[in-house]
Structure 1
Amino acid sequence: MDVFWHDACLAHDPGEGLWELPGHWPWLDEPEPHPESAARLRTFRSVLRRGPVAPHLRWREGRLADLDELAAVHDRDYLAHVRRACGGPERVAVDVNTVVGPGSWPAILAAAGSTLAAADAVLDGSASIAYALVRPPGHHAQPATSDGYCLVNNPALAVARARAAGLRVAVLDWDVHHGNGTQEAFYADPDVLTVSIHMRHGSWGANHPQTGAPDELGVAEGVGRNVNVELSLGAGDAAYLRAVDEVAAPLLRAFRPDFLVCASGFDASTFDPNGRHNVTMAGYRALGGRAAALAEELTSGRLVLTQEGGYLRGYAALCLHALVEGLVGVSEPLMADPLVYLPDESALCPERTDADLAAVRSALAGHWPELGW
């Protein structure tokens, strides 16, 4: 597997405050670093370089995107607004929890460009599976709106690149939050299937009006091509794997994509402060195996992954390592899980997951007759 990296991704510094909220809080004894920090990405890189999966990886240099490439997904006036906000010298909150500063614009370009480099490598055959280990994350960024730490939609850029090559593309997003930006970018495109598996959280406000509910199906020719799988609070390995096996995989097989993009977040992991789900290393290892198998079956192995959430950085890094083990197909786990002791609510209460998945199938009824939904 090829991992794409660019040091400029570390230059983005959202600063400190009350967790994700910038500003001065006089009662707070010591300000907290924003969860989407450079330390998080450095830790992810470290576990892949030092962990036992390292011999299976080839590291490749990313690059900076240019404005024309970003404009494949984003409004140029919006891009100009973000660039001005990054001009410094002070940090600026472009929405309630998305903060930029002097190093942010190079990081944005590096995250986008490294994702495009990964997509291009898969498209030209020099890579089969490519992982863009980048930040800031992207899947909440809409064509003209920043949101949820995201400024440019990296997975959507990979989709647009493959679409420009005439390919049908499927997106599988397992970040714990709804991939609303990717949904918005392709909501009317019948040749892009977007499947987001996430916690039930609803709209976040003006910058995030999408609800992530199953009834957000797409518009015009894209109706039925947007699929939201909301999972109940505490969903763990069993729920996520059922969502893939019982909803995502049948849809992908019916859609027959030429190219698969995965928005890979680890904020559904055990103890993550930004999620309320309970996916373990074993769950992510299984997700990685399923993603690679679906790509092998449907897209001649063409698979691009972009780094999204994951904010308890030590455990999120272990989950990344486990996911990569699944992606490269190791036969046995290479690392033990040091924190696997919370119960899997989705295994203990399968009826909740039954209801969650039934709601998705019901919303899609009539749009996928070949599946009998």
Structure 2
Amino acid sequence: MAADDSGNRIDVFWHEGMLGHDTGTGVFDTGVDPGFLDVLEKHPENAERVKNMVSILKRGPISPCIDWHLGRPAQVAELLSFHTQEYINELIEADRVGGKILCESTFLNPGSWSAALLAAGTALSSMKHILDGNGKLAYALVRPPGHHAQPTQADGYCFLNNAGLAVQLALDSGCRKLVVIDIDVHYGNGTAEGFYRSNKVLTVSLHMNHGSWGPSHPQNGSVDELGEGEGFGYNLNIPLPNGTGDEGYAYAMNKLVVPAVNEFQPDMILLVVGLDSSAFDPNGRQCLTMRGYRKLGQIVRKLADRHSGGRLLIVQEGGYQITYSAYCLHATLEGVLSLPQPLLSDDLTCYPEDKALAVKVVDSIKKYQADNVPFLKGA
């Protein structure tokens, strides 16, 4: 790749071995067969959703802008930069005995551990590609997802924190400060937990206001979870009301995220992309459309151009509507590439938005941060 072309193409890292994680069937994500339904559904975090993400990038109109790279499995030693040895031992033992329910809706089945290692290693390879100067825009197309996985436990379909491992690699390689912008519909609690006491990583999560969902996810994702010790003020939660939509998300990005990143001045940016904030996702209620995802991609690209020399790593998380997730991914990457016109039309956008509540919530969060986050006072 020519140096002057690195901002106009995206290096996608992928390995089909990640399809080997079989999450089974049941009632939504429970794995339960109640015995009185003729048709059960696949667990939402299934291989088909990612197959469509791969195919739209290979055969969709964005394909000329994509360069493909083969992912690789992580070595166990690499996982210890983020996770504890005890937790990794638990996962290895669960795989050895043929599987385990690690927490609600999170099943390690035969083939899951190999897929998780591939996801982690692929994220690490994506980051190293950027760090070595081989490209500026990289996308780790990975599953199982990772942003709920905490240093000591699994959570929310996640075993290993792919983004967290990539962040730590960048820090260990000499990066001074990093920003993680997480737009998955759920709070990126695992990534936040991993860097909760660090002032070198600014974790920002825009998510549905869902709160804690049990022992595996004790964090609330509320505005007052700001970090601890040296990390106080460097975890910014942006819980948004249901139905926030395209305009509400753009308002939150411009009002809260952009000023925080500008003040923090990172030398590397990660976009943790969850497509479950879309209008048709079964796991969320945030009503983003392709237009909204495209705009978010554009905003993050501008931040990367301003602060990190255009270097941006994108790590895949959720997105469970089998077809529309792929379309929203395509739109996000169009935005990241700063393409002048959309390459795909959105035939599913069919209702008006009302951003009034979202604006009120964002303005309230802005005031709270100005009063309570040291590095944002006066920003």
TM over 0.5: yes
Find the partner of 1:129 among 133, 137, 148.
137
Q: CA deviation at 1:354?
A: 2.3
- Alignment of 1:101 with 2:109, yes or no, is yes
| Cα pair distance change 1:280/1:358, threshold 3 Å | same
Contact 1:142 1:180 in 2 (8 A): yes
Cα contact 1:92–1:100 (8 A) shared by 2: yes
Of 349, 354, 378, the match for 1:372: 378
> For the Cα contact (< 8 Å) 1:217–1:364, is it kept in 2?
no
Partner of 2:362 in structure 1?
A: 356
Alignment match, 1:17: 26
| Equivalent position to 2:227, from 218, 222, 229 | 218
Contact 2:370 2:378 in 1 (8 A): no
Aligned to 1:56: 65
Note the 1:323-362 alignment, pairs <5 A.
323-346=332-355, 350-362=356-368
**1:94-173 aligned within 5 A:** 94-167=102-175, 168-173=177-182
Q: 1:16 to 1:351 in 2, by over 3 A?
A: closer
- Aligned letter for 1:299? S
Mapped partners of 2:190, 2:272: distance in 1: 11
Cα distance, 1:36–1:370 mapped onto 2, change above 3 Å: closer
| Counterpart code for 2:61 | P
- The one-letter amino acid paired with 2:101 is A
Q: What's the CA shift string for 1:172-217, capped at 9, x where partnerless?
A: 0000100000110000001100000001000011000000000000
1:274 equivalent among 274, 278, 283: 283
Q: Per-residue CA shift, 1:256-315, capped at 9, x if unaligned?
A: 001111110000001111001100001111111111111111011111111000000200
Shift of 1:23: 2.8
Distance in 2 separating the partners of 1:232 and 1:303: 28
Residues 65-80 of structure 1: pairs in structure 2 closer than 5 A: 65-80=74-89
Cα shift readout 1:74-107 (whole Å, capped 9, x = no counterpart):
0111111112222354x53211110111101110
Q: Distance in 1 between matches of 2:344 and 2:253?
A: 24
* AA aligned opposite 1:372: G
Listed one character per residue, the Cα deviations across residues 334-367 of structure 1 (whole Å, up to 9, x for unaligned) are 0000100132232xxx244222342254145243
1:238-277 map, 5 Å: 238-277=247-286
Q: Residue 267 of structure 1 contacts residue 275 of structure 1 at CA under 8 Å; is this kept in 2?
A: yes
Deviation at 1:29, TM superposition (A): 1.5
Taking the aligned partners of 1:186 and 1:201, their CA distance within structure 2 comes to: 21
SS of 2:51's partner is: helix
Gaps of 5+ in 1: none
Q: Which residue of 1 aligns with 2:303?
A: 294
**1:208 matches 2:217:** yes
The aligned residue for residue 85 of structure 1 is 94
Does structure 2 conserve the Cα–Cα contact (< 8 Å) formed by 1:214 and 1:360?
A: no
| Identity across the alignment (%) | 43
CA RMSD after TM alignment? 1.3
Q: Is the 8 A contact 1:140 1:147 kept in 2?
A: yes
CA-CA distance at 1:70 after TM superposition? 0.7
Moved more, 200-209 or 78-87: 78-87
Q: What is the alpha-carbon distance in structure 2 between the residues aligned to residue 370 and residue 72 of structure 1? A: 29
Aligned residues of 1:22 and 1:93 also touching (Cα < 8 A): no
- How far does residue 25 in structure 1 lie from its aligned partner after superposition? 1.4
Do 1:155 and 1:262's aligned partners in 2 also have CA atoms closer than 8 Å?
A: no
Provide the rounded CA distance (Å) in 2 between the counterparts of 1:128 and 1:259.
Answer: 10
- Counterpart CA distance in 2 for 1:78 and 1:357 is 40
* CA–CA distance in structure 1, aligned partners of residues 361 and 74 of structure 2: 43
SS in 1 for 2:276: coil
Q: Pick which of 299-308 and 24-33 moved more.
A: 24-33
The answer on 1:46 being equivalent to 2:58 is no
Q: Alignment partner of 2:323: what SS?
A: helix
Deviations 1:123-156, CA, capped at 9 Å, x for gaps: 0110101000010000000001100000000110
Alpha-carbon distance between aligned partners in 2 of 1:285 and 1:131, rounded to the nearest angstrom: 15
State the TM-score, normalizing by the size of structure 2. 0.95
Q: Normalising by the residue count of structure 1, what TM-score does the alignment of the two structures yield?
A: 0.96
The alpha-carbon distance between structure 1 residues 232 and 16, as it changes in their structure 2 partners (threshold 3 A), is same
SS at match of 2:237: strand
Specify the SS of the correspondent of 2:180.
strand
Counterpart of 1:63, as a letter, is R
- Asked if 2 retains the 8 angstrom alpha-carbon contact of 1:229 and 1:357, the reply is no
Name the residue aligned to 1:321. Answer: 330
- Could you say what secondary structure the match of 1:336 adopts? coil
Is contact 2:260–2:376 with CA below 8 Å preserved after alignment?
Answer: no
